[in-house]
Amino acid sequence: MRYEWKKLLAQVQICLLLLGVLVGNGIWFFLRCSQDLGGYTMAQIRQVYAAPDTLEADIALLEDPTAAPPLRYTQRPWAELALLTAARDRIAAARDYDAFRQGLVDDAALKERLGLLGPADSFEARSLKRGQAAYEALVGVTPEPVFQGGMEVLLTDRGMDLALGVAVLAGALVLTTLERRSGGMVLSRPTRRGRAALFCRKWAVLACLTGAVWATLLLTDLAVAAGTLGLGAWTQPIQGVYGFEACPAPLSVGGYFAIYVLWKLLWALSWAGICLAAGCATGSPILAVLVLAAMLGGAWCAGESGDLWLRVFSLTRLARLEELAQSAAYLNWMGTPISRPWTALAVLAGMGILSTLTGLGLFCLLPAVPRKAQWPLPLLRGPRHTNLFLWEGRKLFRTQRAALLLLFLALTQVASYGPRRAENTEYGYFYRMYSQILAGDPSPEKDAYLTAEAARLEELTRAFAAAPWDTELYGQLAAEQPFREAQEQYRALKPGQRYLDQTLYRAYFGPEGLRDGLWDLGKVFFVLSLALAGLYPAERESAMTLQLTASGQTRRVRRYKTLWTGILALLIWAVGTLPRLLWAVWTYGPPDLLAQAGAIEGFAWLPGFVSVLALLLSTQLAGLTLTVLAAWIVTFFSRPASTQVPALLLALTVTELPILLLAWWIG
Amino acid sequence: MELCFEGLVKNYGKKQALKGIDLTLTPGIYGLLGPNGAGKSTLMNILTGNLEQTRGQITFDGRDIRTLGPAFRGRLGYCPQQPAFYPTFTADEFLFYMASLHGMDRKAAETRISWALELLSLARVRHEPIGGFSGGMKQRLLIAAALIHDPDILVLDEPTAGLDPEQRIAVRNLIGRVALNKIVILSTHVVPDVEFIAKELILLDRGQVLCRQTPEALLKAMAGQVWSLTVDEDQVEAAQSLGQVCGIARAGDQVAIRLLTPTPPKGAVEAAPTLDDVYLRFFGPEAGL
Ligand SMILES: Nc1ncnc2c1ncn2[C@@H]1O[C@H](COP(=O)(O)OP(=O)(O)O)[C@@H](O)[C@H]1O
Ligand SMILES: [Mg+2]
């Protein structure tokens, strides 16, 4: 056991990572607590709570445009109004809780009386009844309107989940993949029972680590919350915390918090079991992370689905305990409504136990030394050449699994963009129709066409006013709005600009396009980190640095590695980011490359000499630059690392964190 | 060809691993003999560039090897003490990789690799991944890797560790055969490894060269110091205090004790010294453990 601890903590980079995770979490939570919520902060709400008397009067003054706005907490009237309304909502939610609760009960009773939910033994009707009973039982719960902002932020914070997940993953990977890589398994514990005992020790170490990290995270957050927003009143019912009004369980804030602590611990332990199993199954940190990422992707998709059952089986969704507590929704078990929190608990525990047992089985049964079969055909045997550059490529693509990762990325991209179809709306159809006519340089014919079409539509409108029952006319009039847009766009063209059908550019540069682009970059960084982080430490893990130094070729090897890193970055960039462009062009037709890019929606600020081609090229170039920068960062962590796991995790964390933050920021 | 160690000092923090090594080596096999922790690997690591010395220098034909750089390293063959290879590579792939590291062309590599694999009886497993090899196979592969580019200087750090007696002898003979016109430095703490092939033995202890001699000279210096004493069983205790014991064997119902002492004990017969006796004399009884 002591040995396992030592193995874990002797890794300087792992300690750094853990420390970074803990500190990062503290900073993140501090920022969350002092975050701008739209002109105001949580701390300002707390101030309003301290002086509730003037609240209503102030709001009235602020809503009155003729009155002088009382600016007690902020500088701007709109921010002040937003702040006061937010505070009023919170105060009202607690003060009027009983009415709210009674409303839920009455609502259910009304629905039942009207028979809106089918026969009395249907699932809907029965779950409604259960919910009604739960809320009825809460009679007498009277939260006082005290400020609970600290708990409000803490209980719904996702930063801790991420930090905990990363720390647990780091521990699991070190414990399961390090020994096998360095061949230590051959020496230690060859019997099944011995290996089972070893696995149990590893599990115990990981569980301790999980508990310790969780405790630290929690204490940090509590301290930050106490320092910035206060911890509120823990004896109050949880229904007084904003967002928890509809909680159907008779819990105090303190009680809920205790459940929260245990729940997250269980969640982290389940995740630890899954990580251990993945590490034991693959024996390689790269493959383990790949498998886990695929699983998390699946879990995320399940969690985003509307189906409550799917959500209950999604590990990522299960981290959000508050969702289970904030409403009385039930799962449909063959017509019987069953409790969502209890089912989730069973699922979570089941996941943990099952994965740990799987890990145990794999650890005991898999051969200690991965003995690959011989290449079956002489032709398929490794190439026999003495080209060092190619050998370095082989190390990257086969030993470090860059080829597999590229394939994985390619499949992911095909899966995400392949089945995607153009959005077919009537509006879009007409807009494209007009755009096809107007596309290109403005001309007198187009002007004439626009005038004629405008006249025709006006005629139609008049005819429709006379005969509003005419569905055919109504159908034709659907062209009016799109026509207006196309016409306005045409009129707004500056000299030298050409009319561009915006559909393609909207799909590529619009908000959804940007979000997809961001995810693509995330995938690119992910694959890049996995493929490159181990490149240098692999030499040290295998002690091959001794041979390389002795041969005097270290520099040449490093140069080739750098070259291959560039090649790989280029490949990953191409595979990861080009599909989106290809999809857009494939779906909406080729762009007018030589037109001025200033005619694209949102790019009017571009000077006239920038063509669409230049714009597209420079966005691609920006993506490539970011990819190369990420490759550089990964190499930066990889170069000095003595083992792969910490380099891999550090690289992953540092490259993916900005993506996650940006994704969170743009929503 | 001349390899010189001049006042070589290596400190690990406060601990002095090498305390000023001065040696001049010319072609031939040198047995670097010393107990664990003597500094053998440290010396070799400095020679191969894997460690930086604290003081002193190593010169090759009069020039510091650090300034010679690749020109020197290319002529070096190195068999490290640790298993240093890629576990997922097959033996064949690994040797081709090493060949490309040494800038060999493909034809030459093919012949040399087949030769080395044959010589170290690895030809049968050449297409199997190294990760699945036994300890002895891995060790032999490392020796093969050190040999393929026909280096002028061969540095072998405990090359016979993990080999069975038969393979030990085979490897020893192999080294004896390929050593022609090479400077071979072979470190070991097992005397028979170098007994018959070494031109000279260098005895290293706690970072210092104790002595450097041909095996014959060493044996000669020991003449008159090894004695065989045959005593009854109950006298064994007493006899052991007469000198350093380097062997106890039963001889009929009596016990024959081999003693290392300059003054002949009473009733003892002079015995022919072996290199094991030399080792014991220099490194003491605890070195044998
Ligand atoms: N990296 C290191 N840090 C500190 N001390 C070391 C290190 N490597 C070796 N030593 C010490 O230096 C001495 C010589 O070690 P080494 O050269 O490996 O001996 P040998 O190869 O003869 O067994 C030993 O006492 C060892 O403990
Ligand atoms: Mg050694």
CA distance A178 to chain B (A): 14
Q: Quote the pLDDT of residue A417.
A: 93
Distance (Å, rounded) from C-alpha B263 to C-alpha B282? Answer: 17
Judge contact between A293 and A526, C-beta under 8 A: yes
Encode pLDDT of B234-245 as tens digits.
888 888 788 888
Q: Is B27 on the interface with A (CB under 8 A)?
A: no
Mark residue B100 as left, alpha or beta (left: phi above 0; alpha: psi -120 to 50; beta: remaining): alpha
Cβ neighbours, 10 Å, residue B36: 10
In a domain, residue A19? The reply is no
Q: Quote the pLDDT of residue B289.
A: 42
Substitution target in B47, B101, B148 with the highest count of A β-carbons within 10 Å is B101
The structure's pTM equals 0.89
Q: Quote the pLDDT of residue A172.
A: 93
Q: Is A358 on the interface with B (CB under 8 A)?
A: no
Does the pLDDT of residue A117 top 80, yes or no? no
Above pLDDT 90, what percent of chain A?
Answer: 55
Higher per-residue confidence, B223 vs A487:
A487
Least confident of A359-363, A454-458, B234-238: B234-238
Contact across the interface for B106 and A548, Cβ inside 8 Å: no
Residues of A in contact with B145 (CB under 8 A): 547
Domains in chain B: boundaries: 3-219, 224-272
Ligand 1 touching residue B274 (CB < 6 A): no
Contact across the interface for B78 and A382, Cβ inside 8 Å: no
**Is residue A289 located within the same domain as residue A227?**
yes
Which fold, B3-219?
A: Rossmann fold (3.40.50)
Mark residue A498 as left, alpha or beta (left: phi above 0; alpha: psi -120 to 50; beta: remaining): beta
Residues of A in contact with B48 (CB under 8 A): 546, 549-550
**Is residue A171 located within the same domain as residue A285?**
yes
Distance (Å, rounded) from C-alpha B258 to C-alpha B240? Answer: 9
Distance (Å, rounded) from C-alpha B162 to C-alpha A187? Answer: 14
Number of domains in chain A: 4
**Is residue A435 located within the same domain as residue A494?**
yes
Q: How confident is the model at residue A190 (pLDDT cuts 50, 70, 90)?
A: low
Q: Which of residues 520-559 of A touch B (CB under 8 A)?
A: 538, 542-553, 557
Contact across the interface for B132 and A372, Cβ inside 8 Å: yes
Q: Quote the pLDDT of residue B81.
A: 92
| Closest residue CA from atom 2 of ligand 1 | B12
Q: Quote the pLDDT of residue A477.
A: 83
**Is residue A488 located within the same domain as residue A468?**
yes
Does the pLDDT of residue B224 top 90, yes or no? no
Q: Quote the pLDDT of residue B288.
A: 45
Q: Quote the pLDDT of residue A383.
A: 65
Ligand 1 touching residue B159 (CB < 6 A): no
Q: How confident is the model at residue A221 (pLDDT cuts 50, 70, 90)?
A: very high
Higher per-residue confidence, B278 vs A654:
A654
Ligand 1 touching residue B45 (CB < 6 A): no
Residues of B in contact with A550 (CB under 8 A): 48-50, 73, 76, 78, 80, 155
Element (H, E) at A355: helix A340-365
| Closest residue CA from atom 25 of ligand 1 | B37
Q: Quote the pLDDT of residue A666.
A: 85
Quick one: which atom of ligand 1 is closest to the CA of B157?
21
Contact across the interface for B104 and A552, Cβ inside 8 Å: no
Q: Is A333 on the interface with B (CB under 8 A)?
A: no
Which residue in chain B is spatially nearest to A380 when comparing CA positions? B127
Q: Quote the pLDDT of residue B223.
A: 83
**Is residue A339 located within the same domain as residue A438?**
no
Residues of A in contact with B99 (CB under 8 A): 386
The token pair at A95 is 């003060």
Ligand 1 touching residue B39 (CB < 6 A): yes
Does the pLDDT of residue A368 top 70, yes or no? no
Least confident of A58-67, A241-250, A399-408, B95-104: A58-67
How far, in Å, from the CA of A650 to the mean position of ligand 1?
Answer: 31
Higher per-residue confidence, A25 vs A118:
A25
Domain extent for A655: 386-421+503-666
How far, in Å, from the CA of B40 to the mean position of ligand 2?
Answer: 6
Q: Quote the pLDDT of residue B109.
A: 95
| Closest residue CA from atom 17 of ligand 1 | B39
Residues with Cβ within 8 Å of residue A334, at least 6 apart in sequence: none
Q: Which of residues 137-166 of B touch A (CB under 8 A)?
A: 145, 155
Encode pLDDT of A560-603 as tens digits.
999 999 999 999 999 999 999 999 999 998 998 988 998 898 89
3-state helix, strand, coil in chain A (%, to 5): 70, 0, 25
Q: Quote the pLDDT of residue A372.
A: 52
Higher per-residue confidence, A264 vs B223:
A264
- What are the start-end ranges of the H helices in A534-643? 537-541, 544-551, 554-588, 612-638
| Closest residue CA from atom 16 of ligand 1 | B39
Quick one: which atom of ligand 1 is closest to the CA of B13?
4
Nearest CB among B92, B106, B131 relative to A386 is that of B106
Q: Quote the pLDDT of residue A222.
A: 95
Does the pLDDT of residue A395 top 90, yes or no? yes
**Is residue A489 located within the same domain as residue A510?**
no
**Is residue A542 located within the same domain as residue A638?**
yes
Residues with Cβ within 8 Å of residue A518, at least 6 apart in sequence: A659, A662, A663, A666
Q: Is B136 on the interface with A (CB under 8 A)?
A: no
| Closest residue CA from atom 6 of ligand 1 | B12
In a domain, residue A18? The reply is no
The Cα-based distances of A460 to A16, A124, A463, B86, B167 in angstroms read: 71, 48, 5, 78, 100
Ligand at minimal distance from the CA of B82 is 2
Q: Quote the pLDDT of residue B5.
A: 96
Q: Quote the pLDDT of residue A273.
A: 96
Mean pLDDT along residues B220-237: 84
Three-class SS of chain B: CCEEEEEEEEEECCEEEEEEEEEEECCEEEEEECCCCCCHHHHHHHHCCCCCCCEEEEEECCEEHHHHCHHHHCCEEEECCCCCCCCCCEHHHHHHHHHHHCCCCHHHHHHHHHHHHHHCCCHHHCCCEHHHCCHHHHHHHHHHHHHCCCCCEEEEECCCCCCCHHHHHHHHHHHHHHCCCCEEEEEECCCHHHHCCCCEEEEEECCEEEEEECHHHHHHHCCCCEEEEEECHHHHHHHHCCCEEEEEEEECCEEEEEEECCCCCCCCEECCCCHHHHHHHHHHHHHCC
Mean pLDDT, chain A, integer = 89
Q: Quote the pLDDT of residue A185.
A: 46
Q: Quote the pLDDT of residue A179.
A: 62
Mean pLDDT, chain B, integer = 90
Q: Is A468 on the interface with B (CB under 8 A)?
A: no
How far, in Å, from the CA of B45 to the mean position of ligand 2?
Answer: 10
**Is residue A313 located within the same domain as residue A235?**
yes
Nearest CB among A370, A391, A547 relative to B100 is that of A391
Residues of B in contact with A381 (CB under 8 A): 90, 92, 127
Ligand 1 touching residue B40 (CB < 6 A): yes
Judge contact between A565 and A635, C-beta under 8 A: yes
Distance (Å, rounded) from C-alpha A601 to C-alpha A509? Answer: 9
Q: How confident is the model at residue A122 (pLDDT cuts 50, 70, 90)?
A: confident
**Is residue A126 located within the same domain as residue A239?**
no
Mean pLDDT along residues A513-534: 95
Quick one: which atom of ligand 1 is closest to the CA of B34?
22
Contact across the interface for A547 and B82, Cβ inside 8 Å: no
CA distance B190 to chain A (A): 23
Q: CB-side exposure of A541: number of CA atoms within 13 Å? A: 29
Nearest CB among B50, B87, B104 relative to A550 is that of B50
Least confident of A106-120, A494-508, A585-599: A106-120
| CA A498, chain centre distance (Å) | 39
Ligand at minimal distance from the CA of B40 is 1
How far, in Å, from the CA of B157 to the mean position of ligand 2?
Answer: 7
In a domain, residue A283? The reply is yes
Higher per-residue confidence, A478 vs A509:
A509
Ligand 1 test: best mutation among B41, B156, B188, most atoms within 8 Å of CB?
B41
**Is residue A69 located within the same domain as residue A167?**
no
Higher per-residue confidence, A421 vs A508:
A508
Least confident of A3-7, A122-126, A283-287: A3-7
Contact across the interface for A542 and B73, Cβ inside 8 Å: no
How far, in Å, from the CA of A231 to the mean position of ligand 1?
Answer: 56
Mean pLDDT along residues A152-168: 93
Contact across the interface for A553 and B101, Cβ inside 8 Å: yes
